[in-house]
Structure 1
Amino acid sequence: MYAVITFQDSDELMVVPSNWLSSDMKHCYWPPFKSTEKCMEAVQNKLNPETEGKPWEKLRIIFLGQYDTFEMAKEGQKQYKEYKERSYPLDTILPGIKRQKLESTQGMSNNQLQPLLPASPASTSRMSADDKVEILQMLRDIKSKVQQNSTMLKKFKDNTVSEAPSSTFVPSKDIKANLKLPLRTFEDVARTEMELKNATTRKKYIKYFSRLGGFVPKDVIKNIMQQVLTDDLAMQFNWQGRGNKKPFSQLMLTDVIRDAALNRNINRGYCETEIKKYLSYAPGRKKSKEQGGPGHEISNVISTSVMDNQPENRETFLIND
């Protein structure tokens, strides 16, 4: 398995093998290779974190998520990176001001902010009073936005650290095998429903699902559902059991997914909506896999967009099943 992490000292976002992480998910071994290509090769081959019997350097990290394959981890890394960039839209407002400078304005007064104006002294002296007032207001807005972004990023880091697996539980292939996932047949579903009547087993499932990773709520539910059902089996379900399909909403397993989502601060309504979408998109995912392409991702985006603008269309009916 692979993990997406951020190095605390450099703020770099990286994909690393899970066997490079410490048991508390707060440190990561890093190879001493100077070549970037050699480091990437070590990551993909999941080398033991040592050279000639000597352990590599341990670096402090923030654990963000864990994935079954390198490709899935790279996709997760891309999503984290996009979120991080969206958290700092101010670079596009004043391109000459770097992020570090913007962050340093948090404690500045309006007079202290004036040197950040992207204008020469001569042009400043020719500004009208209204222009100066407008620019000062813009800087106040920038200062407020920077404070909001910093607060949001701090909350994200705090939540990520608190959600990192403890030393007594790290989702792994062994645990997944013990839970016998993903379910492939109705017999598998019936067996799991029986198992979930046991409170201890139920807690194991909730714990495993809630630690599968995913940065935004949509990805959290998607990661859980990918572990729960194969696409072939997902095609046999819809939410209410309409037509010739089985009702997914009546399974104890569905309650377990809701509880796992709640552990990630995802409310019941949103969780159910994403489950409905996941079930309705199963045929598209299967077709895309058979064709060997990522086309289902595009169709999902298009279908979701249509649903937002035309509540009465067919896609919405499928998701509300």
Structure 2
Amino acid sequence: VTMQGDNEHILKDIAIRKMTEMLSQVLVVVKEVSRDVQFIKSELADGKITPASCEGPLPDTVQQMLPIQLPITSEDDFNKAELLLKNEPDRQKMIARLALVGGSTPTCMIRRMLVTVLTNSLACKFNWAGKKRTPHDSKQPFKDTMMQDCMFAAARQYDRHLTQQAFSDTVKKWLRYAPWRAGGKKNN
């Protein structure tokens, strides 16, 4: 009886060792795949590969496809971009460009798109509704812009269940803190 019990114990130990080795190998492969996925996401965000083909560098850079230099640094450039985005092909290119930004969550993607599109100093000139907080603090309404429409469309490609409310809440918060990111809010 003890010989059979010892054999069973030895067989269990061997099985456990083999399973542990296999799990270790699986873990190594999962880590490699994870690194590859991060690399591909980075290449997509930089516009070096297209999401449809993933076959290599784009023949033209995304910046050449878009007649808009990102990030936008001035109100004048923003107004020019708004005019361009009224043209449907340019609007679709902007949506495609913004969709490449990616992110681990819809909120993260929205913030990454905002960073891609606006400098902090320009973001300081916007709030969601354009309402004045003080007589000297007049801001432009971001909610009525073509750029906002493009960003929402790109975010909806990422998450079909994203609501306008969730999108606007993220944009409002990001715009609210732009003065701090731009070098600190001035205290009067």
TM-score grouping bracket, smaller chain normalisation: 0.5 to 0.7
In the alignment, the residues of structure 2 paired with residue 276 and residue 172 of structure 1 have an alpha-carbon distance, to the nearest angstrom, of 37
Out of 24, 32, 41, the residue aligned to residue 65 of structure 1 is 41
Q: Name the structure 2 match of 1:207.
A: 96
Amino acid at match of 2:175: L
1:187-222 per-position Cα deviation (integer Å, ceiling 9, x unaligned): 111111111111111000001101112111111001
TM-score (norm 2): 0.66
In the alignment, the residues of structure 2 paired with residue 191 and residue 210 of structure 1 have an alpha-carbon distance, to the nearest angstrom, of 21
Determine helix, strand or coil for the equivalent of 1:65: helix
Q: Name the structure 2 match of 1:10.
A: 29
Query: Superposed, which structure 2 residues align to 1:1-321 within 5 Å?
Result: 10-12=29-31, 61-62=36-37, 65-66=41-42, 165-167=51-53, 174-176=61-63, 178=66, 179-243=68-132, 244-265=138-159, 266-287=162-183
In the alignment, the residues of structure 1 paired with residue 107 and residue 140 of structure 2 have an alpha-carbon distance, to the nearest angstrom, of 23
Consecutive unaligned residues in structure 2, runs of 5 or more: 1-25, 133-137
TM-score (norm 1): 0.40
In the alignment, the residues of structure 2 paired with residue 229 and residue 223 of structure 1 have an alpha-carbon distance, to the nearest angstrom, of 10
The answer to whether the Cα contact below 8 Å between 1:238 and 1:248 also exists between their aligned partners in 2 is yes
- Relative distance call for 1:67 and 1:172 in structure 2 (3 A) is farther
1:105-125 per-position Cα deviation (integer Å, ceiling 9, x unaligned): xxxxxxxxxxxxxxxxxxxxx
User: For the aligned residues, what is the CA RMSD?
Assistant: 3.3
The answer to whether the Cα contact below 8 Å between 1:184 and 1:233 also exists between their aligned partners in 2 is yes
Structure 1 residue 167: Cα displacement: 2.4
The answer to whether the Cα contact below 8 Å between 1:171 and 1:212 also exists between their aligned partners in 2 is no
Relative contact order: is structure 1 or structure 2 higher (C-alpha 8 Å, sep ≥ 6)? 2
Aligned residues: percent identity?
Answer: 27
1:6-48 per-position Cα deviation (integer Å, ceiling 9, x unaligned): x9971116897xxxxxxxxxxxxxxxxxxxxxxxxxxxxxxxx
Kindly report structure 1 stretches of 4+ aligned residues shifted beyond 6 Å. 168-173
Consecutive unaligned residues in structure 1, runs of 5 or more: 1-6, 17-60, 70-163, 289-321
Instruction: Compare the two structures and name the one with the higher strand fraction.
Output: 1
Aligned residues: 144
In the alignment, the residues of structure 1 paired with residue 30 and residue 158 of structure 2 have an alpha-carbon distance, to the nearest angstrom, of 24
- Relative distance call for 1:182 and 1:15 in structure 2 (3 A) is farther
